[in-house]
Amino acid sequence: MDKDTSFKRRLSAIVAADIAGYSRLMGQDEAATVRDLKGHQAVILPLVSRHGGRIIDTAGDGLLAEFPSVIGATACAAEVQRVMAARNEEVPEHRRMLFRIGINLGDVIHDETRIYGDGINVAARLEGLAEPGGVLVSQAVHDQVRDRLDLAFEDLGERELKNIARPVRVYRLRTSAEARAPSVPGASLPLPDKPSIAVLPFTNMSGDPEQGHFADGIAEDILTGLARLRWLFVIARNSSFTCKGRHVDVRQVGRELGVRYVLEGSVRRGGNRIRVTGQLIEAETGAHLWAERYDRALNDVFAIQDEITDSVIGCIQPQVYAAEHERLKRKPPQRLDAWESVVRGMFLYSQHSDASTKEALAMLDRAVELDPGYAQAHGLRAVCLAWRAFQGWENRDIAFTRAAEGADRAVACDPGEPWAHLARGFIGIANRHDSEAVGAFGRAIDASPNFAYAHGLLGAAHALGGRPDPAIECIDRGVRLSPRDIFGEEYQLYYAFTHFQAGRYSEAASAAQLAIQQRPEHPVLYIMAAASYGLAGEIAKATRAIAQLSNLVPGVSAVDLEENFLYCRQEDRSRLARGLRAGGLAS
C-alpha cells in the first residue's frame, strides 16, 4: 500500500508507439530521416488531442500518450496507421516509416507531467511485439472496444511479456491499411478438387529461442503425417513455413496457398511443463472447427512430440470430414462429384441407422459410377454393406458376398487405401476369420497410422477373437487419437465386445448402454446389453433390452445368434446365447 499521498492514481488507456527500423533509417541518411520524422509528427501528433488524449513523451522516434477513454486511444491508433499508410504510398519501400503501436488499459501513478506504473510497461512491451504498421492491444482494451468500434481483431493468445509477472492475452488490430496492403505476389490459387490444408509454423511463446526447434518439430511432424492421407491435399513445408515469424490473416493464407483449411498453433514452456495448442480454421470464413490444448511434463521431448502429433492428426481427420459434409449438404445429390459423394456417404454411414446407411449406399454407388477406380468409395461401400448385414438389415449371404467383391475391387484399385483394408477386415469379422480380420485392420493402420477408426476396429477384432487385453489397448488408442470421432458410439460397442468376452458383464452392459444412448436404433447394441445384463443377474434390464431388440429385428432368436454371431470362439457365442435366454429371448 502506498504511504506517500503526493502520488495519485487513475485508470488510463496508454498508447506506446515507435518507428520500426528507425536506427537503420538514420544510418542510411540522418538528415532525410529527421526531416521525414518531423513531417510525419506534424500530422500524427495532433491526432492525439483530437481523440481526447495528451502526449506524455516524444523522445526520439517514440511516442507515449495517455487517454481517459480506451475507445479514444484505439480509434487514435487506428487513424494513425491509416494516415501513415496513405503517406507511405508514394515513398520508396526502403525509406518508409512504419509505426508499431501497443495499447493497454491500466492503473497508473501520475503527477502534473508524468505517469508511471506497469500499465505503461505493458503498452511498451506490446509495442515491441507489434509488426511494422500494426497495433497490438491487451485483453483489457479489447474487451472495452470490441463492440463499440467498427474494427476487427485477431486473438493471438496469451504472451509472456518481459518483466511482467503474468501472461497477457494479446489481440491484433486488423486495420484498413492491412486490408489495402498488397498480398504476396501472385493471384489467388484455385482450390484443389479435394480437401486442402496448410500447416503453419507453430508460434514459440516461451521467450526461449530453443523452444522454437520444438515448435517447428511439432508442425513438421503434423504436416508429414497429414501428407500420408491420400484424400487430403497438403501444402508443402517450404510454402507454409514462409509465414514463420509474422502475423498472418488466415483468410489471406487460404487464398494465397489455395487451401480450404489452415492449422495453426503455439508452444509455451514453463519450468518442466510444456503447453501446446492447436486450432483448425476454415480459411474462407475464419471459423474455428477444432481446438485443443495439451499440457505435458517435459520428460521426453521426442515422446511428447510424437504423442501430440498423433493426437492432432487423429482429431483433424473427422473434423475435416464433418466440415466438408456441412459445406456440401445443401448441394443437390445429382450435382455432387465423386469425392463429394464419398463425403456425403461417409457422414450417412456414420449415422448407422437403417435409412442413413441405405442412403449412404446410393451415394457411394454414384461415386464409383463417376470414378470406377475410386478405391475409398469401393472400400466404404463394402464396409457399409457389411455393417447393414451385421445389424440384420440385409440378407447376410448376399450382402457379405457383395461386400467381399467390393473389398477386392478396392484393394485392386489402390493397395495403399486404408478403407480398402478396412473392408477386408469387415469381411474377416463376418466370416469369423480371426487372422484375416486382424491382418487387414493392421494393414489399414500401416497405411494411415493415425486412423482412429482402424485402431478401434483392430480392438474389436481382438475382442471377437478372444484377446481382451490387446483389444482394450487398441480401442483406447482409437479414442485417444480422436476423442470426438464421428464413430464414437462404435468404440463403446467394441468395449462391450471386449468386456463381455473377458467376463466383465457389468462393464459390458454399461458400455452397450452408453452406445444405445447415442444410437438407439442399433440391434447389435441391444444384443450385447441384454446378454451382459442376463449373465450379470440383472434380469429385468435384460428383458427390457430384449423387448427393444425384438422390435428392431422381429423373429430374432438365441439359436440364430449362437450360430451366427461375430465371436470366433463357440464358447463365447454360447455364453452370449445363455445371457439372452436368461432375459427371455426365445430359442
Residue 555: other Cβ atoms inside 10 A: 8
**Burial environment of residue 91 by CB neighbours within 10 A (0 to 12, 13 to 18, 19 or more):** exposed
Which triple of cell numbers denotes residue 452? 482412429
> Strand, coil or helix: what is 291?
strand
Confirm if 301 and 267 have CB atoms less than 8 A apart: no
Helices (H), 96-138: 118-129
Beta strands at 135-138 and 152-159: parallel, antiparallel or unpaired: unpaired
Residues β-bridged to residue 138: 170
Residues β-bridged to residue 293: 277
Rounded to two decimals, the pTM is 0.58
Q: Which residue from 313, 237, 247, 307 is spatially nearest to 274, judged by alpha carbons?
A: 307
Please report the domains of the chain, with CATH numbers, ordered by start residue: 8-180 (3.30.70.1230), 196-319 (3.40.50.10610), 329-449 (1.25.40.10), 475-587 (1.25.40.10)
Please give the helix or strand (H or E) that residue 306 lies within, else none: helix 301-328
Mind listing the pLDDT tens digit of every residue in the chain (587 residues)?
A: 445 555 688 889 999 999 988 888 888 888 888 998 998 888 889 999 999 999 988 878 889 999 999 999 999 999 998 889 888 888 887 788 999 999 999 888 877 677 888 888 899 989 888 888 889 999 999 988 987 887 888 887 778 777 787 888 888 887 554 444 444 444 456 777 678 888 998 888 876 666 777 788 888 888 877 877 767 888 877 678 777 766 677 888 888 888 888 998 888 887 788 888 888 888 887 878 888 888 888 777 777 777 778 878 777 777 776 777 676 665 666 667 787 888 889 888 988 888 999 999 999 999 999 989 988 899 999 999 998 988 878 998 899 999 999 999 998 998 888 888 998 999 999 899 999 999 999 999 998 887 888 999 999 999 999 999 999 999 998 887 777 677 777 899 999 999 999 999 999 999 999 999 988 888 999 999 999 999 999 999 999 999 999 998 899 999 999 999 999 999 999 999 999 999 999 87
Confirm if 193 and 337 have CB atoms less than 8 A apart: yes
Confirm if 296 and 261 have CB atoms less than 8 A apart: no
